[in-house]
Structure 1
Amino acid sequence: MSQLIDAWLVADEWIGLVLGLLVVLLLIRQSLWAWPLGVAYVLVSITPLWEARLYANLLLHVVGFLPLNLYGWYFWIAGKDEDDELPVTRASPRTLAMLAGLCLVATAALGWYFDTATDAAWPYWDNAVFAASLAAMWLTARKKLDNWVVWFGVNIVSVALYYTQGILPYALLYLIYLAMAVTGFLAWRRTMHANSTTP
């Protein structure tokens, strides 16, 4: 029975890797299908994150990514014109500054809590990923180009976290996400410029 459970834990890490790649590929292509697959990715990620004691990352997936996937799905449908898709735009400097401030406060407060109240493996780094990922996910749901820059930073830290905790499929996933963040930024920027030149 123990071997079966261990096999499932490894299998769900690889299923998470595949779903995670599909989600980002679909986001790069600006496909609505990214959002329901994002929900599936969250559900598959619960066990590996719990087993690795990355509690803030687990909280991020359940409390952050799950509702933001639903919000993004809704917003990409409801936020567009009748015949058009939701346009790619930039976030304002004020919005970015506000998000950065919220990320710093959340990282410090949650990092302290997880450091003192749990056996979290990397409480401050895990919570930096938590806070920045929420900001990036919100920017993604609002179809802001800046989301890809935030994701790039999140992905760098996540590769190290997952690698040190032995979740190698997720470390590989976030390494691939680094390249995909660059690709996504370039693709969305092309779309944004094309939309701004279209009458």
Structure 2
Amino acid sequence: MIDYLFANWLENLGVVTTLICVWLNTQQNIWGWFWAIISSTIYGVIYWKFQLYSDMELQIVFILLSIYGWYQWLFGGNQKTELPVSRMPQKLISVCLLVWLAFTGLSGYLHGKYTDASLPYIDSSLTAISLIAQWMMAKKYIDNWILWIVANVGYVGMYFFKGLHGTSLLYVLLLVLAIKGYTDWRKSIV
């Protein structure tokens, strides 16, 4: 009973901090990165408890990417100025596709063979998409929102299946915010 109450309370806190983070990101507000670190820490604990190890590992990387993104948004532009929104260079698309395939295959296999992971290939695939999307967001590539839309649809189903209904609902809201982020960022693209 205590585990359930702890997980439920923590999940609710994770939902709130994630919504704050993504809302601020849609507004290109630098404080979104701070809230990303907080929400990633919370969800790292949740995913460990629910044996979603790829997602747990993803939270660690998200914390590192949030620090990187915070710096990039402040100083990643020309002559260490604020980074503007842009499109991802075409040459990086095939690299991202290869990273997605390699990560999904290797992580899914390793988690499926050596752990008690639940849904290892689906979890690993969504993790790979999320990693790529988060890196793209740190670089302020507008295309990040398209990947977030795809990932959020997958996460809604996976978390609902795992009984994390609050988190599943969160990803419905994140899907709406990803659509908003894409629409809003298009107005400031260079």
Q: Which interval holds the TM-score relative to the shorter structure? A: over 0.9
2:158 paired with 1:165: no
Residue 182 of structure 2 is aligned to residue 185 of structure 1:
yes
Which structure has the larger Rg? 1
Mapped to 1, the partners of 2:92 and 2:130 lie a distance apart of 15
User: Structure 1 residues 81, 93: CA separation in 2 closer, same or farther (over 3 Å shift)?
Assistant: closer
User: Are the aligned partners of 2:14 and 2:39 in contact in 1 as well (CA < 8 Å)?
Assistant: yes
**Offset of residue 80 of structure 1:** 3.4
Which residue of 46, 70, 77 corresponds with 2:74? 77
Per-residue CA deviation, residues 28-56 of structure 1 (Å, 9 max, x unaligned), is: 00000000111000111122211211110
1:101 aligns with 2:91: no
Distance 1:132 1:179 in 2: 18
Tell me the equivalent position of 2:114: 117
Once the 2 structures are TM-superposed, how far is the Cα of residue 129 of structure 1 from its aligned partner? 1.0
Whether contact under 8 Å (2:15, 2:170) holds in the other structure is: yes
Q: Give the residue type in structure 2 aligned to 1:18.
A: V
Which residues of 2 match residues 9-158 of structure 1 at below 5 A? 9-62=7-60, 64-80=61-77, 85-158=82-155
Checking the alignment, whether the CA contact within 8 Å between 2:58 and 2:131 is kept in structure 1 is yes
SS in 1 for 2:88: coil
| Percent sequence identity over aligned pairs | 31
Q: 1-side partners of 2:69 and 2:89: how far apart?
A: 19
Q: Aligned with 1:143: secondary structure?
A: coil
- Whichever residue aligns with residue 188 of structure 1, its letter is W
Determine the C-alpha separation between the residues in 1 that align with 2:158 and 2:63: 21
Please list every run of 5 or more consecutive structure 2 residues that lacks an aligned counterpart in the other structure. Answer: none
Pair 1:118–1:188, CA change in 2 (3 A): same
Q: CA shift at 1:85, angstroms?
A: 3.2
For the Cα contact (< 8 Å) 2:74–2:81, is it kept in 1? Answer: no
Q: Deviations over 1:151-189 (max 9, x none)?
A: 111111111111111111111111111111111001001
Q: Is the 8 A contact 1:9 1:47 kept in 2?
A: no
Supply the distance in 2 between the matched residues of 1:145 and 1:152 (Cα, whole angstroms).
12
Matched positions, count: 190
Q: Structure 1 regions of 5+ residues with no counterpart?
A: none
| Alpha-carbon RMSD | 1.5
Contact in 2 for aligned 1:48/1:167 (Cα 8 Å) = no
CA contact (8 A) 1:22 1:34 kept: yes
Question: Which stretches of structure 1, 4 residues or more, deviate above 6 A after TM superposition?
Answer: none
User: Distance between the aligned counterparts of 2:76 and 2:17, measured in 1?
Assistant: 25
Q: Distance in 1 between matches of 2:11 and 2:93?
A: 32
